[in-house]
Amino acid sequence: MMQGEVTLDMDNSDLFLKNVMRKAATAPVHQSSVSEYFKDGFPLFLNRWPEGFELRAHSHDYIEIVYVTSGEGYHYIGDRVEKTGKGCLYLLPVGTSHILRPASTSARNPLIVYNLCVLPEFAAELGAWMGNYGSGGEPLFIFTGEPGSYIAVEDRGLELGEAFESMYREYTGQPWGFEASLFAGLLKLSVRIARLVKQQTGELNETGHSPQVNSGEWSELLQYISLHIAEPLTLSQLAAEAGISNRHFIRLFRQQAGMSFSDYLQHKRIELACHLLIETGRKMPDIAKSIGYQNTAHFREIFRKLMGVSPSEYRKAPGISGPTSHTE
């Protein structure tokens, strides 16, 4: 879930701050390497850092989780700038450039963050290991973003600060068994973050369970598709109708229909085409448009793919049965 761009609301008299922030957005990006922070092959690095103006925008060869534990400021991520503050959390994959700046030069409310860095090969190793146990590796999707992407969530209950603090004490103090403690902490923290992500995208409710579409709602959704079959239906539009996220809609649809939304839509359109070819004398371009295909050649291509014959051949041999969508 990406937060949108915001307009910087600063005191116009603070020219120094504005100039520094402008330079931060245009300065060359520094490439932060693994050797700068990861020591002796240990796959985690963790610090607590008061953000200022001395660092410049940087990208990483590793995965970084940033958690704002104090203060307010602005977060440059790629070509975006977002207002940030206590409880904001960012998941930054390899190759995503960013920099944080405090909202002012005042020391009374400093912008302090935890930076938890993870080697990508270790995250992959964890995912593979957890994947051997049912869906245990699924929460580690938070480590799989593409370069330039990011995930931003808000810890509204400020529940994660304690977890970061506990891991920070283990990392800096290094008591006996700290490695195992940090690995366990990372897994637990990953699950809590993944739940936050899914709750704020509508894939989980506040109890941590997936919202379900009941049979009545599912029937209404299929009826809506049938009534609007000739329109340019989109997955995003139907997800909004169902009140769930696109990602969760994709999963629910495949679970309920046994196929993807695009495949289902094609099957339903070709089913209707079969009926029109047999029951009416309408011309091919007219039939194509009436079921949602503006391009007749594309309609013929899809029809042949699903039916094994062209629309004209089907019309001549109506005994051929139409495609089924496996939902009725």
Q: Is the pLDDT of residue 4 over 80?
A: no
What is the Cβ-side half-sphere exposure of residue 28, based on CA atoms within 13 angstroms? Answer: 3
**Which DSSP category does 273 fall into?**
H
Separation CA 171–CA 126 (nearest Å):
19
Distance of CA 165 to the CA centre of its chain: 27
Is 90 exceeded by the pLDDT of residue 201?
A: no
- 216 versus 23: the higher-pLDDT residue is 216
For residues 258-278, average pLDDT: 90
Task: List the one residue out of 109, 110, 68, 69 whose CA is nearest residue 90.
Answer: 68
> Alpha-carbon distance 249 to 243, whole Å?
9
Cα 306 → chain centroid: 32
Rg over CA atoms, the chain? 26
Lowest mean pLDDT among 68-77, 144-153, 248-257, 274-283: 248-257
| SS3 assignment, position 84 | strand
Chain-wide mean pLDDT for the chain? 84
Q: Which helix (H) or strand (E) holds 100?
A: strand 98-102
Q: Which residue has the tokens 């302090």?
A: 112
Q: What is the pLDDT of residue 325?
A: 46
At 282 the pLDDT is 93
Angstrom CA distances, 164 to 182, 188, 192, stand at 10, 11, 12
Both tokens of 222, joined, read: 């299929």
255, 173, 177: which is closest to 213 by C-alpha?
255
Please state the rounded mean pLDDT for residues 225-250: 82
Supply the pLDDT for residue 291: 92
- Does pLDDT of 63 surpass 50? yes
CA–CA distances in Å: residue 215 to residues 92, 195, 219: 39, 26, 6
- Residue 5: CB atoms within 10 Å: 10
- Is it the case that residue 1 has pLDDT exceeding 70? no
The angle that helices 120-130 and 178-200 make with each other, rounded to 10 degrees, is: 80
> Do 325 and 264 contact (CB within 8 A), yes or no?
yes
Whether residue 235 is predicted with pLDDT greater than 80 in this model: the reply is yes
Tell me what the mean pLDDT of segment 108-118 comes to. Answer: 94
Which whole number is the average pLDDT over 164-173?
Answer: 97
HEC string of 220-258 equals: HHHHHHHHCCCCCCCHHHHHHHHCCCHHHHHHHHHHHHC
CB contact at 8 A, 250 and 235: yes
Residues 6+ apart with CB under 8 A from 108: none
Between the alpha carbon of residue 44 and those of residues 22, 123, 141, 232, the distances in Å are 32, 10, 18, 48
Q: In the structure, what pLDDT confidence band is assigned to residue 236 with cuts at 50, 70 and 90?
A: confident
Q: Is 292 helix (H, G, I), strand (E, B) or coil?
A: coil
Q: What's the pLDDT tens digit per position in 120-167?
A: 999 999 998 988 886 677 889 999 989 999 999 999 999 999 999 999
Nearest CA to 190 out of 112, 129, 138, 120 is that of 138
How many percent of the chain have pLDDT more than 70? 83
For residues 206 and 268, the model is more confident at 268
Confidence of residue 7 (pLDDT cuts 50, 70, 90): very low
| Predicted TM-score (pTM) above 0.85 | no
State the pLDDT at residue 221: 82
Runs of H (alpha helix) within 92-177: 120-130, 161-173
In terms of pLDDT, which residue wins out, 54 or 68?
Answer: 68
**Can you give the pLDDT at residue 8?**
37
Looking at residue 174, what is its pLDDT?
97
CA distance 166 to 178: 11
**Contacts with 258 (C-beta within 8 Å, 6 or more apart), sequence order:** 326, 327
